[in-house]
Structure 1
């Protein structure tokens, strides 16, 4: 009987680094697209007083001041997503904003539309996780 040797392939450091770079590029693309949507497709209509935005915030019942606050939070988050040092913090804050949007859809507006902010929140969670080192460094800087 001859002895056979079983070898298992282990990923090399180069393969791991390559997949990390690819994942980071995919997240950057998502960050850019989400930032564009938040700024152009969501915040700007709120600031401009688009009819649909006004009607939506009338349905919510908290007044139009909330439309401006929401638009400002979306714009700030969009800008933060594009700055590497702030991207993790921005993504984390946007998770909260999206949770509020999903709850508002479920409780006040149209429950079926809650899936969109929930999906955005999931992507923001991936971004926040990927940018956690930058977020920790920023927090250490602020503690000093």
Structure 2
């Protein structure tokens, strides 16, 4: 048995991680596109936040970037970290500013954390080079 075969994760773990990454990419691509398109509910929500509509555009663009990065095998960890930061902000905003349920944000945060943990070697590699 080769060393590569011993170090490779089981096939089901790899497939499961791809499924999670795909679901996250779909969720964030849809949310980001809705923010950039200007869905009236989101325009009103960001108006209530009080930072202006530029923040809606920024959030939408970052969500689309995170959706793209999480699908790129060599950049998945960085996409996951970006999405974690966005979901922390969403959770805090729901708790203290706009109200509503934090459950969707927390679920997406947890799924993003799973990807970041699974791809932690990418983060460690960057840390070594810095």
Q: How far, CA to CA, are the matches of 1:24 and 1:62 in structure 2? A: 40
Return the index of the structure with the highest Cα Rg.
Answer: 1
More helix by share: 2
Question: What residue ranges of structure 1 are gaps of 5+ in the alignment?
Answer: 1-13
Q: How far, CA to CA, are the matches of 2:14 and 2:41 in structure 1? A: 36
Equivalent in the alignment of 1:38:
28
Give the match's secondary structure for 1:108. Answer: helix
Q: So what's the TM-score if we normalise by structure 1?
A: 0.79
1:92 to 72, 81, 84: 81
Equivalent in the alignment of 1:68:
57
Distance verdict in 2 for CA 1:114–1:63, change over 3 Å? same
Q: Cα RMSD between the aligned structures?
A: 2.0
Equivalent in the alignment of 1:56:
45
User: Do residues 127 (structure 1) and 115 (structure 2) align?
Assistant: yes
Asked if structure 2 preserves the Cα contact closer than 8 Å seen for 1:89 and 1:128, the reply is: yes
List structure 1 segments (4+ residues) > 3 angstroms apart after TM superposition: 14-18, 138-141
